[in-house]
Structure 1
Amino acid sequence: ALSTFVEETREQPITLSSGDETWQVMPDDVGTTIDAAATVSAAMDLTRDGNAFVDLGRRLDLYLSGRDIPLQGTVDGTKMDALLDDLAAEIDEQPTNARMLIVDNEIKVAEGEPGSVVDKDALRAQLTELLFSFHSTELQIPMVVVEPDIAAVDVSPALEDANTMISSDLVLTHGDLSWTFTPRELASYMDLTYKNAAGVNTLVPYLSAAKLSVFFDSIEPSVNVPGVNATMDSDGKTAWVVPQVDGQGLDREATADGLTDAALTTSGRTGAVVLATMEPDLTTAEVEAMGIKDLLASYSTTPYNGSANRQHNVRLGTSLCSGVLMAPGDVFNTDERLGTRDAAHGWKTAPGIVGFGELDDVYGGGICQVSTTLFNAVFEAGLEVVERHNHSIFINHYPDGRDATVTGGGKNMRFKNDTDHHIFIYGESTGVLTTFYIWGVSDGRTVTSTFSGFYGFRGHGAQKIYNPALAPGTSNVTFAGQTGKKCEVTRTITWPDGTTKTETFSSAFPAIPSITEVGPAATTTTGGAPPSLPA
């Protein structure tokens, strides 16, 4: 029966009220737990503590008065505190300190006013008692009056200072730059604080950095001097930390203080921007903590000299893919690092593969030497290869089955730092000899690989194209054709604990017909259509 009564009690809300507002509180809202056994025990204790005559008197009193015995249990203190905080947020009216108000450039005085806030201790005790009673009732939320910290102040000096501050224009300077504040603007940036001197509270006006925040946002690009992140560098033999270079950033509080001082004068009303030392995003200590010291792998290519433009592109591409710190899990995107290939970004035209077996001068021609060299360094380091594609034309001066092409917005070479430490990518190039080094913290992994050899050969056929610009009876082979073939390179990575990972990199080179341009047929006749050509 008691258990049934307890369940019914849990469904009965307590109504809290304050003024015209009310709130319903259910026992579960504050994590109320009823202990039926303890409640029965407490009831029995009322009639068995003492001697037989006292016990008999208590039983008669309970029978005649019908006195309730409180339920026994607990409430969740965290939930009770959250409830009281929510109520206080809605009900509390905080006291207001004595202050000056700036209204339309006119300074007025407002006296301090007391507040009224929830008496949380009293409400907690009263609510807890009701939760363990047999009654659902309404509880008036107890409130207490809170006096302001400063009820009255001497405003005369503040009034005088405030009027001085908005008496005329104020100028902020930084080198050749300057900004002018009108009296109306100064009034909007003004705030007030309190100082206690010899037990007397005094209002003090000042120009607020917080209220100047939008203005400060607008001038920061003009006054800040960005720092330079710490990084790594290498000469191929070792790698070292390049220290950070601190920048300078707008010190908002100090600049606002300087403006306040200038505004409190009646002449020479000029303040200066104050800059503070600003660390870059990546500090020397952070790079040193990466512990990069081991050469995980390096790889060099020297395919052929090529044109001066090609060498320029290879040097530029290498520099764009060099000097990169990669955190564990980071993915290197070669196409993204190389960026847009056009004259505006420093690229020059050189031969590049532009279609099915076609070579043409394109901006960035030669960059595949960069991606291929980097791919092979990644291959030898045992890092995870996310994306790699072979060229459509077989290039015999790259390792068989280990070339890697990159096209703008298309095929890409991407790899992931799957070690537990940062790695550093460093590259150098003469435009012909190109080398990439990968530095990091060795985890002992080793790499072995095998090459399948070429297979699946397919003949390439031939194609002739009429070119009336050639001399009669002559021809010119523009593309020798390519025999189709395939190959695989298998890489096995082994870790010190014996764990291995084997993966295959496949390459397929399509059969591409040879292309021969032919001129007009040798003949003594004149006029007529050009002769037909065999396919």
Structure 2
Amino acid sequence: MSRGRQASIIVGLLVLLALSAVGVDAFISRGRIHRGVTALGVQLGGLAPVEAETRLSQEAARRLNRRLTLVGGDAAPAFTTIITAADAGVHIDVATTAVRAMEVGRSGSLCARLIERMRLWISPRDIATPITIDDAPFLSVADELSIVVEHLPVDAELVVNGGEPKVIAARKGARLNREALKHLLMDAVAGGTRDLQVTQDLQVPVDAIAPKLTTEKALKALEDASIFFSAPVRLTYRDWVADLTPDDLAQMAQFFPEGVDAGRPLTVDSTTGRELVEQRLAAIETPPVDAEIVPAVDRRSYSVIASKDGVRVNWDTLLRLIDQAALRSAPRHVAVPTETWAPRLTTLDAEMLQSRSVIASFTTYFSPANRARVNNIAQVAATLDGRVIRPGEIFSFNEAVGPRTQAAGYDEAPVIDNGVLVPGVGGGICQVSTTLFNAVLLAGLPVVERWPHALFLERYPVGRDATVSYGSQDFRFRNDSDSVLLLNVVAADDFVEVKLSGVAFARRVELSTSPIRDVVPPRSSPTYPRILVDPALAPGQRDELEPGIEGRSVSVRRSVHGPDGQLLFTDEFESVYQPKDWIVRVGG
């Protein structure tokens, strides 16, 4: 017999032997997982799927309840906290794993199955186990961690003490990398030890946040700041003269980070600057005198006392000119800019309004508990009361009220920001804009711009609120009539009333509100509330649970008819309110 024939016989016998072995293995493993198959470190060969699922469930429970020690990294403060993967909502899908294990060697063509079974004799196969994480418990754990880990970056500052500018160094911030934390926890479950007594240390993933203004830039800005205090700045108005000394300029100076690269790191602080200069310029300003409508004794006729224009300082321009003068070596001189101070009610307006009547009024109510909010509402009411809207004019709430600043008399009160209530200067003024919006609706005047609040507020008529934010969201309406309109706003401790008056103004208004739709529940719940760090609370202090609010959509349709019943126009106001989370505020 030739050697080639002998080799062929040997190969054939080996193949037959291998096939026989595979066949025997297939017979033995009928209804059971093939040998050499593992998952989560558990040998599953020879087990029925139900048995495999039981073994995997036991191992999953061990892994999910093993202690995990979370520690702070380089960018985070030093801390240690112990949790389990189960606490964070990690879930192991043992049922799918058992099914996948059973499919090994049983899928594909006959040849592929034979090859797979032969490989299992030589090299075991580990089945990938589906591991997921539930959002609610994970977010609860992540929120708790963020209280310890996260902090905002602090920009370098240039401060002025006693006329001497100094640099305060910048500090990096830290942000919890939540996506990386998810993978860290799932990887710890997938690849960790089976020993329950062993605590696994995991470094919490944190991203460093660089400050916008570094210490190096602030030191460079320090060199450019000296000219600001180098000499007095002289103010003049006709025969009036006053000097702002270097000490005055030091009190007015404010660090201006945006100007660092341009070599002008200091600017005049608008609040401090105005307070310092205002008393000196008091003699320059003359308030206007409104016209008066005086009824006769018989109340059947009226006479008008003429108005007078006033003079006032243009503060924005003045402070800008002082700023420019302080940033140059010479000349350091400013002519005080003034402007005509028009009365609210001119003689012509008063003559036109002698026979006025109320065309619409509306009142909203609020709690008197928050005194800052009550003050802000009263401040806006006083600013708007007596305003005149002439025919064809578009009234702008933001233009009429102006910036809401502490210098203008506004206090910090709750405002809506990113779906939560936070302190903000001017909080509460939307009570006035909403009341005005409703009066305008009932008067039948065209609305040019209106924005709903981000959240649904039950204290207002459904779909009939109007939020404002200086520089972005405004409330505007047009006086499309032939009559001058008079706006009166009265505020007390628990209500604000808006009245619109005009002459020969007769319109009929019909309002209809759609059913509420597109209801969206809050993302968090009373069980797993959103954790919000509140610097107003002491470290470790927890506030009461703040209820969530469902998101929803609603629309209000209006039809406006003229005095003869003809339809003048229709409009519709769509409001989409976002859901508000259940929140617990904690001190940080």
TM-score (norm: length of structure 2): 0.41
TM-score (norm: length of structure 1): 0.45
